[in-house]
Every structure is written in C-alpha cells, then in structure tokens.
Amino acid sequence: MNIFTIKKSSGKKRRGEIQTAHGTVETPNLMIVATQGTIKAVSALDLCEWGSEFIIANTYHLYLRPGLEILQEAGGLHKFMNWNKTIFTDSGGFQVFSLSKLRKFKDDGIIFQSHIDGSYHKFTPENNVQMQRAIGGDVMMVLDECMEFPVTHAYAKHSVARTLKWAERSRSEFLKSSSLYGYSQSQFGIIQGSTFSDLRRMCAEELAGMDFEGYAMGGVAIGESKEYIRRVIDMADDMMPKEKCRYLMGVGEEDDVRYAVENGFDIFDCVIPTRNARNGALFTRNGRMLIKNAKYKKDFSPVEEGCECHLCKNYSRAYLHHLFKAGEMLGGILASEHNINYYMRLMKEIREGI
C-alpha cells in the first residue's frame, strides 16, 4: 500500500501527503525528535497545538526504557505519551552504533551493551520488527548496519550486503505479522552505501524490489562535511522510487533541508531544533542567535520580530539571556518552543513555495 501521494511537483521538488492511521502529514516536512517518548522540554499537547504533524521515537531507547511490556500495557506509544498524530520509529541501528558501549555485528543481528546499565541485548531484523509493533508507531524503519565515515569501498560493500539481507528479513517479518493495536503500520527501507554511488544505487534497487511503503537515505550527517552530505543528496532523485515517500534521515540544517527538497526529498528528522534551543542557539530569519552572547544583555526586543511563539510574544532577548546565564530551566523551555515553531514555519514556507 502506498501511504504517500504527490499533490504537485516542480522540477525534482514534490509537494505531497503521507496518510497514516493517525492523520495526514503534509510534505516536505520535518519530524521533531521524541527519542525517549518525549519531546525534550515540551509537552506533546503543546507540540500538537503548534501544528506539528509527526514525531520520531527510537526503538533502542524505548526498548531499554521504559521497556516494551509497559508500552504494550499502555496500548502503545501514542497513548503512553498522549500524542495522537503520526509517529515514526527508528529501528535503533544508529543508536546501537553511536551510544552502546560495546556492539558486535553478526550476520543474524547485533549484540550490544546497554548505555544505561551495561546489560547485554540482541537486535535481529525479526525481533526489531516485533519491538516496533509493540511501540506501535505508524511507520517503522528496518534494522540496518550503520557505518562510520569514512570507510573503504570494500568495507561498505560488505556492510551494504548485510543491510540488504536484514532488510529482506525485516520485510518478510513485517508482512507475516500484524499490528497489535488495531491500526495499520507501514515500513520504510533504508539505503546505505556511504558516499559510494554504485553501492547506494545497488542498495536502492534491491530495496525497491522489496516494495516498502517508503525509502530513506541513512548513514548521512554522521560527522562528514556538507560536501559529502550533498554528494549523497545529489544521488537520490535518480535512484529512489519516485512514487514513494523519500526520507533523509538525521538531516536538519536549514540549508541542507532546502537543498534536499530541491533534489526530491520529502521528509526529515533532526535533533537540531530542540538540542540547539537547550544550548541557547535560536533560529531566526536573520540567522542563528546565540542568546548567551553579552550583546543581548540589555536587548529588550523579542528574539524574532513577528514570530508568534510564546517566547517572542511575551519575553525579551535580555530576559532569555538572563535565564540562560542563571542556568534556569525556563530558558531551554522557551527556546525549544521558539525553535520548533521556527521549523514549523520554515517547512510551511518550503511547501508553499512548491
């Protein structure tokens, strides 16, 4: 079943809609990250009010804490965190790669040590699908092997072969199982291959044959330069199925998002809006504002003139500067609201520009 419809296109750019059991997501769009089943410093109800249509949670984190048994007893993540719109869940392959103290890739799965208590766990393509069934997101991602950057072509080729085998097993497990909560779920494949276009192409073609509901470019924005990120973006339109939703994972810098939309991507996810906010970096039409900078000490204007968020309508730069200098939680809370609203507005403008 295709959950994605293109409403309008212009060159490689596409304006479309993702339809899930929990609503419609207009694209291009960016998911706010809710790794542990919460948007950092933000209530799900507030995020909903600000117009966000989807979030992404993480299987690695939720499996370890609170654990799948609790999510199942709650009736799935939507109910547990009181978010009634669309949820994507990442498989956690990237988090095993980036957070776990110890990890061992075997052909049948990954053995890893929890970053919380050091306990040992194993993800296989099959149990990972079942975990994402228990979480109950509307769209799940396949388990893949993430590579560092840079890697040799030989290593990447070997890794892509494993990722493809796992994708096939994931798809098979997905197709023979069903949702636990009475609504349908979808599954996206992930294209790997580092910056090697022959491997990315081969991976994309093989995955296309498995007929996923959507496709993602993975293993991007993991520390490589913008030039390399764009090299992968450049490959996408040509190798990813046109009629399916195209997801660029982990990318969220405004210029990269704009560039990727120009090149045919539909959706994104990134920690930047919320993480930067907590560090005092605010996005505005006039560029990034580092609010801890001394020049804002006596600046009684709003962070961004014309912005309709709670911060900009009610508080000054000087007050926000004070909150950050004084280590007050309210600083991160207000800044998160602003940055999320900035991205909501940005994506709306990008959509309306197509």
Q: What are phi and psi of 245, to 5 degrees?
A: -65, 135
Q: Shortest gap between Cβ of 41 and a second copy (angstroms)?
A: 4
Q: Shortest gap between Cβ of 134 and a second copy (angstroms)?
A: 15
DSSP, collapsed to helix, strand or coil, labels residue 303 as: coil
Q: Would residue 117 show up in a list of annotated catalytic residues for this protein? A: no
The active-site residue, picked from 117, 256, 269, 299, is 269
Using CB under 8 A as the binding rule, whether residue 297 contacts a second copy is answered as yes
Using CB under 8 A as the binding rule, whether residue 177 contacts a second copy is answered as no
Residues paired with 6 in a beta bridge: 16
Given a contact cutoff of 8 angstroms between Cβ atoms, the answer to whether 4 and 214 are in contact is yes
DSSP, collapsed to helix, strand or coil, labels residue 297 as: coil
Q: How many CA atoms lie within 13 A of 181 on its CB side?
A: 22
| CB-nearer residue toward a second copy: 50 or 268 | 50
Q: Shortest gap between Cβ of 135 and a second copy (angstroms)?
A: 13
What secondary structure letter does DSSP report for 116? Answer: T
Q: Would residue 107 show up in a list of annotated catalytic residues for this protein? A: no
Q: Which two tokens stand for residue 244?
A: 């399916």
Q: Shortest gap between Cβ of 247 and a second copy (angstroms)?
A: 25
Which of 7, 9, 51, 73 is the binder for a second copy (CB under 8 A)?
73
Using CB under 8 A as the binding rule, whether residue 81 contacts a second copy is answered as yes
Burial class from Cβ neighbours inside 10 Å (0-12, 13-18, 19+) for residue 129 reads: buried
Q: H-type helices in the chain, by residue range?
A: 44-49, 59-64, 68-74, 77-81, 93-99, 125-135, 153-176, 197-209, 226-239, 254-262, 272-278, 310-314, 317-325, 329-352
Q: Shortest gap between Cβ of 296 and a second copy (angstroms)?
A: 11
Candidate segments 75-83, 99-107, 157-165, 227-235, binder of a second copy by CB under 8 A:
75-83
Which of 258, 316, 348, 354 is the binder for a second copy (CB under 8 A)?
316
Candidate segments 166-174, 177-185, 297-305, 345-353, binder of a second copy by CB under 8 A:
297-305
Smallest CA-to-CA distance from 181 within 20, 348, 14 is with: 20
Which of 319, 324, 342, 343 is the binder for a second copy (CB under 8 A)?
319
Give the binding site for a second copy (CB under 8 A). 36-45, 61, 65-66, 69-70, 73-74, 80-82, 297-298, 300, 310, 314-316, 318-319, 321-323, 325-326, 328-330, 332-334
Catalytic residues: 90, 269
